[in-house]
A = this chain, B = another copy of it.
């Protein structure tokens, strides 16, 4: 069996270019004992991948040049040499940017297509949903009546943050780029207010949308949005920091005003809690609760989700660039191959 792959050809400087990727085809090895042959159906594209395409110090090892681009996938089992998986099973795996792969069965999780659309295992019921759940509830700890602000609010993490905040009795204020996304925040995701960060009146709009200030700022973009929200923070506000996508493509250390002393002064005088995290660290403490709560919330529509599905593995690099620019609406997935459950 051959697999079509996209590999890292060079560490991108700034936005990843086509030449930073390399398309390859490879013959897969024979299955070993306990292994499965997988056909990718959906590939998840996520901002964290940009961090792995860099040698800058991070929580995870960077990709090496020549590595297949990494990523979570939903796959169909074509062949199995494990008694835990059978041909035709749909599984969650981490096979990256390729059409087929051989994996250890124990590194896959079986999905039940009857319980939820299989693509949601990469979104609202998967890593992005868990990121929202763990970061908001463990670090943000919203109390009834408090205000939770979240940027990239129309994205898979942000939209879940706002809706989980509402379930916990907080007021949800979403920040997104453009009037269409803002409309969806209100009409579809049920945010209490939506603010367009591309608007000239952004800061005033944010102030109007947060009359009682902000108690939790779920940080996943950084940049000018973060600066504006920081000025609205209340005493004892909590800031789960789960991403800084606005700066992921930055190539130079920004100059001008050094905002760090002012930020730290605010941390001090407002008794702020700023806490970086990646979702893995909450798996031991929160995964059971997540798997208990979230499917029910999705079923009873207290949590809605959107998907943005792009067809064809070849389109992954361009889709990934769009993701970093905030172009997509909802969870970005590549449909690598036919979805047999659809």
Contacts and interface: CB of A to CB of B under 8 A. Distances in A.
A273 B274 contact: yes
Interface string A253-265: 1111111111111
A247 B274 contact: no
Interface stretch (A83-91, A105-113, A275-283, A319-327): A275-283
Interface residues of A, number: 42
Contacts of A57: 269
A56 B262 CA distance: 11
Given A254-B261, A258-B253, A261-B222, A276 B267 contact: yes
Interface string A220-254: 00100010000000010000011110010010011
Q: Is the interface of A mostly helix, strand, loop or mixed?
A: mixed
A55 interface: no
A222 B265 CA distance: 9
Given A58-B269, A258-B258, A268-B242, A275 B277 contact: no
Given A269-B59, A275-B274, A250 B261 contact: yes
Interface of A: 51, 56-59, 219, 222, 226, 235, 241-244, 247, 250, 253-278, 281
